[in-house]
A and B are shown apart, each in its own frame.
Chain A
Amino acid sequence: MILTPKARRKNWGLAALFLFPSLFIFGVFTFYPFFENFRLAMFQTPPYPGLPSKYIGFSQYASILSSSEFMQSLLSTLFFVLLVVPTGLLLGLALAVAAHKALRGMAIFRVIFSSTVVTSVAVGALIFGTLMNPIVGFLPWLGINPNPPLLQSPTWALPSIAAMAIWQFLGLSFIVMLAGLQSLPDDVLEASRVDGAGAWTTFWRVTVPMLSPTIFFGLVVGTIYAFQTFGQIDILIGSQNASQLHVNVLLYYIYQSIQGTNPDPGQAAVLSIVLFVIILIFTLLQLRFVERRVHYAGK
């Protein structure tokens, strides 16, 4: 369609009008903070409040990234992601396989399994906090009284938080896997059974490869989710004990940097950029290497 200059201007005007709300929101809450963060990372915050910050450029990265506190936070984060993502995906797949069967009353289980998607982190944390409470919790009820209690133990605090993160991730993982299973063509699975494969062989040799795009999607989304865990730690552990209990994962470390009486926006900015780069690298690595083993239909 050929437009006159006037009509073209009118079209552009209309497009700008429609785009404005989302551009405004993204601009204020995403693009501006994103670039401002890079600027902040160049400035060192003085150790006393009220003094002006000082431009020191990239040397701030070096000092923060070489600190032992950062290394400990990074290790905790990686361990946490390693605990949460594979377990969450496997359990989600197992529940989806169970709920995929067309049995009477299965709809109720589907609602229950997916319910953690609509459960807020705060509510989830309170439930788990109560379960793990050394006095009124589930473990004492079972006669298990670890000392120190799980959420106060440097060994068990992180796995306990991971357990809760897995539970919270399970709803999404379940929904994604179930949707994937339901989109698989029945006749291919039936062909496998007629071809002599039992349920187990069919699952591993036919279902899982055909489900690989879904599993891959779950892997990417789950990794990003696990890297960004915050609420559980803040509610169940709190800022005071996070680092000595080894649960100050990167996102929490960022938060710790800017809260309290002497916030350090420079350090927080550097850490945010590091977290951004790590998630980016993980996602790219997954796209590059894992996706090779993914079978998309029709390819």
Chain B
Amino acid sequence: MATVSFQGTTKRFGDVTAVDALNLDVEDGEFLVLLGPSGCGKTTALRMVAGLEDVSEGIIAIDGNDVTGLEPQDRDVAMVFQSYALYPHLSVARNIEFPLRKRISSKEERQRLVLDVAKSLDLDEYLDRKPGQLSGGQRQRVALARAIVRQPAAFLMDEPLSNLDAKLRIQTRAEIVALQARLGTTTLYVTHDQVEAMTMGHRIAVMNDGILQQVATPSELYENPQNVFVARFVGNPGMNIVTGVVDSEARSIHLGGVDASPGFLHDDAYQFNGPLSLGFRPESVALSSTGLPGSVSLIERLGSEVHVVVTIETGEILTVRQAANEVIPSLGDSVHLAVTGKVLAFDAQTGERR
């Protein structure tokens, strides 16, 4: 077990900066999720920890030791790849044993460890099979077994669930969380799926365009996003954002020059003055008889709840989360929206939280 830290770590590919001066500390035993859209630099950051990508500037430290110049085999980390990256010519047993070959000379000891790990992941029936003869879920478990068998300082996981079907993904998600809790091994987990991040991570580090946006616990990230990007990216659907001018003394909000204050009932909305981006979660806004006028442009029924997507007069698109048993409007209906819950204020220019 160990800490992992990025200290001003930068990676450039030619003129493109994939990871820009990243400062991030993963605590000992922590499950930290790197979350962001594709191309945000999260996988590059993970690969730099593994030693598979050179660092352009700054350092990577594992357990306080600078490992920036070390080869992957000298870093004592284990990685689970998106494609699983199993050795196709070796049996399941030999795949799991592979990382032990250099570390443990006794063959009996190696076999005992392989069997223990295989049993704990329900793989003991498949030890003689080749990866090509396994299902996606089984391959995934072999990749996990190969990572945990050597008890590394840290696990690095690169979207390990993205090749599984939806049901298996949810099941494996819980298994990985339980496994990490049992082993207590520091884990750095990369995903673009915010539900995965929210359900798995002790903390989540959100990245965009190579820049770290915010590091926080899942609930903190949801409640208090530091900028518009995080507000929109975290949550499903993301936070609603409208841009307008607020006058706190007059208690007015103008959206597109029209007074919209009847739509904002919560005092939060009037804390700051000037041009602002106002953010509120889909559950903080409701269909109402007065408020922001708009028309229904999409209805998504998810069973227990319904997402009503409304285009307001400024052209901005807002989502309302409704319980399925409430009155649901029809497509194209003219409606009014009232923001009843918490409103967050962001700088209209920079998008940073006020």
**Residues of A at under 8 Å CB distance from B?**
185, 187-188, 190-198, 201, 205-206, 209-210, 212, 295, 297-299
Chain B 150-173 near chain A by CB (<8 Å), digits 1 or 0:
100000100000000000000000
The 5 A-B residue pairs with the shortest CB-CB distance, nearest first, are: A295-B89, A187-B85, A191-B85, A195-B99, A209-B89
Question: Is the beta-carbon distance between B52 and A193 smaller than 8 angstroms?
Answer: yes
CA distance A37 to B291 in the complex (A): 97
Check if B50 is an interface residue, CB within 8 A of chain A: yes
* Given A195-B98, A196-B102, A299-B132: A190 touches B85 (CB 8 Å cut-off): yes
A-B contact pairs, 8 of them (CB 8 A): A188-B87, A192-B98, A193-B52, A194-B52, A194-B73, A196-B102, A210-B87, A212-B89
Contacts of A190 in B (CB 8 A): 50, 52, 72, 79, 81, 85
Question: Is the beta-carbon distance between A191 and B79 smaller than 8 angstroms?
Answer: yes
Contacts of B98 in A (CB 8 A): 192, 195, 197, 205
Partner of A192, one of B51, B82, B87, B130: B87
Contacts of A209 in B (CB 8 A): 87, 89-90
Contacts of B146 in A (CB 8 A): 191, 195
Given A193-B72, A195-B146, 19 more contacts at CB 8 Å? Answer: A185-B85, A188-B85, A188-B88, A193-B51, A194-B50, A194-B51, A194-B72, A194-B73, A194-B77, A194-B156, A195-B78, A195-B99, A197-B98, A198-B71, A206-B87, A209-B89, A210-B87, A210-B89, A299-B132
Question: Is the beta-carbon distance between A197 and B86 smaller than 8 angstroms?
Answer: no
Chain B 35-70 near chain A by CB (<8 Å), digits 1 or 0:
000000000000000111000000000000000000
* Chain A at the B interface: SS class: helix
Kindly provide the distance from the CB of A201 to the nearest chain B CB, expressed in whole angstroms.
8
Contacts of B72 in A (CB 8 A): 190, 193-194
Check if B138 is an interface residue, CB within 8 A of chain A: no
Check if B182 is an interface residue, CB within 8 A of chain A: no
Question: Is the beta-carbon distance between B83 and A193 smaller than 8 angstroms?
Answer: no
Contacts of B103 in A (CB 8 A): 196
Question: Is the beta-carbon distance between A188 and B86 smaller than 8 angstroms?
Answer: yes
* Given A187-B83, A299-B132: A198 touches B88 (CB 8 Å cut-off): no
**Most chain-B CB neighbours within 10 Å: which of A195, A205, A212?**
A195
Contacts of B73 in A (CB 8 A): 193-198
The residue of chain A having its C-beta at the shortest distance from the C-beta of B76 within the complex is A196
CA distance A196 to B151 in the complex (A): 13
The residue of chain A having its C-beta at the shortest distance from the C-beta of B78 within the complex is A194
* Given A185-B83, A194-B51, A197-B102: A298 touches B89 (CB 8 Å cut-off): no
The residue of chain A having its C-beta at the shortest distance from the C-beta of B133 within the complex is A299
Contacts of A194 in B (CB 8 A): 50-52, 72-73, 75, 77-79, 156
Question: Is the beta-carbon distance between B83 and A297 smaller than 8 angstroms?
Answer: no
Contacts of B83 in A (CB 8 A): 185, 187
Contacts of B82 in A (CB 8 A): 187
Kindly provide the distance from the CB of A15 to the nearest chain B CB, expressed in whole angstroms.
38
CA distance A193 to B52 in the complex (A): 8
Kindly provide the distance from the CB of A189 to the nearest chain B CB, expressed in whole angstroms.
9
Contacts of A197 in B (CB 8 A): 73, 98, 101-102
Kindly provide the distance from the CB of A194 to the nearest chain B CB, expressed in whole angstroms.
5
Contacts of B132 in A (CB 8 A): 297-299
* Given A191-B85, A298-B88: A196 touches B99 (CB 8 Å cut-off): yes
**Most chain-B CB neighbours within 10 Å: which of A185, A194, A198, A212?**
A194
The residue of chain B having its C-beta at the shortest distance from the C-beta of A299 within the complex is B132
**Most chain-B CB neighbours within 10 Å: which of A190, A205, A297, A299?**
A190
Contacts of A185 in B (CB 8 A): 83, 85
Question: Is the beta-carbon distance between B71 and A297 smaller than 8 angstroms?
Answer: no
CA distance A164 to B298 in the complex (A): 73
CA distance A195 to B50 in the complex (A): 10
Contacts of B52 in A (CB 8 A): 190, 193-194
Contacts of A212 in B (CB 8 A): 89
CA distance A198 to B78 in the complex (A): 15
Kindly provide the distance from the CB of B303 to the nearest chain A CB, expressed in whole angstroms.
37
CA distance A180 to B50 in the complex (A): 26
Kindly provide the distance from the CB of B300 to the nearest chain A CB, expressed in whole angstroms.
36
Kindly provide the distance from the CB of B218 to the nearest chain A CB, expressed in whole angstroms.
28
Kindly provide the distance from the CB of A193 to the nearest chain B CB, expressed in whole angstroms.
4
Contacts of A210 in B (CB 8 A): 87-89
The residue of chain A having its C-beta at the shortest distance from the C-beta of B52 within the complex is A190
CA distance A190 to B51 in the complex (A): 10
CA distance A209 to B90 in the complex (A): 9
CA distance A198 to B53 in the complex (A): 16
CA distance A209 to B146 in the complex (A): 19
CA distance A135 to B130 in the complex (A): 60
Kindly provide the distance from the CB of A108 to the nearest chain B CB, expressed in whole angstroms.
21
